[in-house]
Each structure stands twice: as C-alpha cells, then as structure tokens.
C-alpha cells in the first residue's frame, strides 16, 4: 500500500477540534468507496520558532498519486467541524507503505498555486 498524509496546523483552523482525526479519516474512507483507508494519526514536531505541533492523519491506498485528488476534492466540497480544510491542510504522498512525512511529496500546495495563478488571469 502507498501513503497519503493529511497535515493540519491547528493554528490555521477555525475550530481545532481533536475529533477531526476521526471525522476526516472516516469521511475520506466513505467518499472514496474505501479506496483510501485510515492508517492512524500522529503529532508532528515543527521547526524552532514555528507554532505546533502539527497533526498528521496517515492514510493508505493502492495508488497515492492517483487517489490523493479524492481527498482534495472532498476538502473543497465539505466542511469538517466548521473548518474549510481546503485552505488549511497540506497533503503529502509517497509510494511507500506508512512512510514518514520527510520522505513524502507535498501535492496540494502545488495545485493551489496553479489555481491562484488561473484566478488572476
């Protein structure tokens, strides 16, 4: 299985409710028809001087590069416990099983940059 990690910065959330760790992964499983499944969560230390810790939700799927878009679309179309996650989370992927964040590729920030550039045209 491959890895998708959804990283939350509680300081950027309107409602930093810890239940997000369950509600988000449950909804992703449902919306993806279980193509993407929960694989736990963890807290992630930040660099010195940055607010934290961050919270990461690990997900597993057969094809992370193909399926991360399901997560992104879900975050754009639904709010979770009063939070617009399309504006406040980062999505990372890896071809490896249960990979560490530092080994993953950030994918949704690139998408947001393209969207912003398109909107300015």
Instruction: Give 5-63 pLDDT, tens digit per residue.
Output: 999 888 888 998 989 999 999 999 999 999 999 999 999 887 666 666 889 999 999 99
**Amino acid 116: pLDDT:** 53
The pTM (predicted TM-score) of the whole model is: 0.86
- The position carrying tokens 């950030």 is 106
Task: Give the Cα separation of 41 and 112 in Å (integer).
Answer: 24
Read off the pLDDT of residues 53-92 as tens digits, 9 standing for 90 and up: 889 999 999 999 999 999 999 999 999 999 999 888 899 9
**Amino acid 42: pLDDT:** 94
- The position carrying tokens 């099983």 is 97
**Strands (E) located in 33-83:** 36-44, 54-61
Q: What percent of the chain clears pLDDT 70, i.e. is strictly above it?
A: 84
Q: Sheet containing 54-61: give its strands across.
A: 36-44, 54-61, 2-8, 89-94, 105-106
């Amino acid at each position: 299985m491959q890895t998708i990690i959804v990283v939350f910065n509680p300081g950027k959330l309107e409602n930093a409710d810890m239940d997000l760790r369950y509600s988000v992964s449950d909804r992703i499983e449902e919306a993806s028809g279980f193509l993407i499944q929960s694989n736990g969560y963890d807290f992630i230390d930040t660099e010195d001087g940055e607010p934290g810790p961050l919270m990461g939700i690990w997900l597993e799927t057969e094809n992370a590069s193909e399926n991360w878009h399901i997560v992104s679309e879900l975050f754009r179309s639904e709010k979770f416990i009063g939070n617009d996650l399309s504006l406040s989370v980062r999505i990372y992927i890896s071809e490896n099983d249960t990979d560490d964040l530092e080994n993953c590729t950030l994918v949704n920030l690139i998408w947001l940059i393209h969207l912003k550039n398109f909107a300015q045209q």
